[in-house]
Amino acid sequence: MTNYSPALMTDMYEYTMLDAALKDGTANRKCVFEVYTRHLPAGRRYGVVAGTGRILDELERFRLREKDLKFLSDRKIVGPDTIKWLEDFHFSGSIKGYREGEMYFPNSPVLQVEGTFGECTLLETLLLSILNYDSAVAAAASRMATAAGDRPCMDMGGRRTNEWSAVSAARAAVVGGFQGTANLLAAQRYGLKAIGTAAHCFTLLHDSERDAFQAQINALGPDTTLLVDTYDIETAVKTAVEVAGPQLGGVRIDSGDLAQLAQRVRNQLDALGAKNTKITVTNDLDEYAIASLHSAPVDSYGVGTMLVTGSGAPTCAMVYKLTERENAAGMMEPVAKKSKDKASTPGRKLAFRSYELGVATDERIVSSSEAKLAEYRPDPDWRDLLVDYVDHGEINQAYRGPEAITAAHDYHAKALAELPITAQSLMKGDPAIPTLLDVL
Nearest one of 182, 177, 190 to 409, comparing CA atoms: 177
Query: Which pLDDT value is given to residue 374?
Result: 86
Query: Which pLDDT value is given to residue 1?
Result: 53
Pairing outcome for strands 153-155 and 180-181: parallel
Q: Are 170 and 192 in contact (CB under 8 A)?
A: yes
Q: Which CATH superfamily is domain 148-306 in?
A: Aldolase class I (3.20.20.70)
The CA distance from 166 to 160, in Å, is 8
| Burial degree of 413 (CB within 10 A; 0-12, 13-18, 19+) | middle
Three-class SS string for 359-399? EEEEEEEEEECHHHHHHCCCCCCCEECEEEEEECCEECHHH
Query: Which pLDDT value is given to residue 342?
Result: 83
Which of the four pLDDT bands, split at 50, 70 and 90, describes residue 2?
low
- Does the structure show a pLDDT above 80 at 95? yes
Three-state DSSP class for residue 284: coil
Lowest-confidence pick of 101-110, 197-206, 228-237, 362-371: 362-371
- Residue 25's H or E segment, with its range, is none
Query: Which pLDDT value is given to residue 343?
Result: 82
Residues 170-183, mean pLDDT to the nearest whole number:
98
Which of the four pLDDT bands, split at 50, 70 and 90, describes residue 266?
very high
**pLDDT tens figures, 288-340:** 999 999 999 999 999 999 999 999 999 999 999 999 999 999 999 999 888 88
Domain layout of the chain by residue ranges: 6-137+313-439, 148-306
**pLDDT tens figures, 401-431:** 999 999 999 999 999 999 999 999 999 999 9
Task: Please state whether 348 falls in left (phi above 0), alpha (psi between -120 and 50) or beta.
Answer: beta
DSSP strands (E only) in 254-299: 278-281
Query: Which pLDDT value is given to residue 440?
Result: 81
Nearest one of 139, 137, 189 to 304, comparing CA atoms: 137
Query: Which pLDDT value is given to residue 370?
Result: 83
Average of per-residue pLDDT values in the chain: 96
The CA distance from 353 to 385, in Å, is 7
Query: Which pLDDT value is given to residue 265?
Result: 98
Nearest one of 149, 137, 217 to 181, comparing CA atoms: 137
State the alpha helices, DSSP H only, in 32-123.
52-60, 66-74, 80-87, 117-121
The CA distance from 304 to 290, in Å, is 13
Q: Which CATH superfamily is domain 6-137+313-439 in?
A: nicotinate phosphoribosyltransferase (3.20.140.10)
What single-letter amino acid sits at 305? Answer: T
The alpha carbon torsion through 48, 52, 54, 55 (nearest 10 deg) reads 140
Residues 228-241, mean pLDDT to the nearest whole number:
98
Q: Can you give the length of the chain in residues?
A: 440
Three-state DSSP class for residue 58: helix
In the chain, pLDDT over 90 holds for what percent of residues? 93
What single-letter amino acid sits at 383? Answer: R
Give CA angle at 423 (421, 426), nearest 5°. Answer: 110
**pLDDT tens figures, 84-93:** 999 999 999 9
